[in-house]
Amino acid sequence: MTTTPDRRTTQQRGTGMRNRVVQDTEPRISQLISATIHLAGEQDLRVDTYGSRAQRGGHIAVASDSLLIYLHDRKSAKVYADAWIDAWYIASHLPKQIATHPRGDTGPVMMARANGSDDVQHVHDTARNVALIRIGRLTWLLHDQAAWATATATWRQVANIAPLVLAPRNTDPLGPRDRHQPHRPRPAAPEAQPLCQSGNNYAGPPPGVMARGIDL
């Protein structure tokens, strides 16, 4: 059977990929959590750090009104930061800013820990006029450019401080200065004191020195 060749240009294929809607796949394990966060207007993301790259417990925490993300290595920080920075094209199709109402509750309601690499997808859903950023099982639906710009500014900050706080990977060994104690010079041996083995003041040899034998 002969099939018609695909005569679309590379640009047309790319446009079709950007405009597709990503469908959730069927779970292959007993429990699976997928979260979707809708963003509109300026976003208030807070960054907190703990430790340094010399410590295996160092991490970066990125908190928003709904989600708290812990990044435990540089790879995960790069994945998240690049996912937001590279979404500039799909975000450019969104309106500048839409009207929003203030939220009654504040504080994260979900926490995620990120280690290593993860799958990233960018989609411009023309039917709903939203931009989709998916990292693993987390999906952000952006409704305007203000949401992308303010959130991305925070993720650029994360990318800048990640080399100072995080190890390359959470399983990487520490650097040589952290695996070994600093070299300390050995203390000098005490100078030998002349011994007097006669008289009533002789108290025997000092510790570690064998007594002289007695010739019969």
pLDDT in tens, 72-117: 999 999 999 999 999 999 999 999 999 988 776 667 788 999 999 9
In this structure, the dihedral spanned by the alpha carbons of residues 71, 77, 80 and 84, taken in order and rounded to 10 degrees, is 130
Q: What is the DSSP annotation of 144-170?
A: SHHHHHHHHHHHHHHHHHHHHHS-SST
Rounded CA-CA distance 153/24 in Å is: 29
pLDDT at position 74, please? Answer: 92
Write the single-letter amino acid at 168.
P
Rounded CA-CA distance 148/150 in Å is: 6
What pTM did the predictor assign? Answer: 0.65
CA 97 to chain CA centroid, Å, is: 30
Rg, C-alpha atoms of the chain: 32
Higher pLDDT, 197 or 130: 130
In the chain, where the domains are located? 33-170
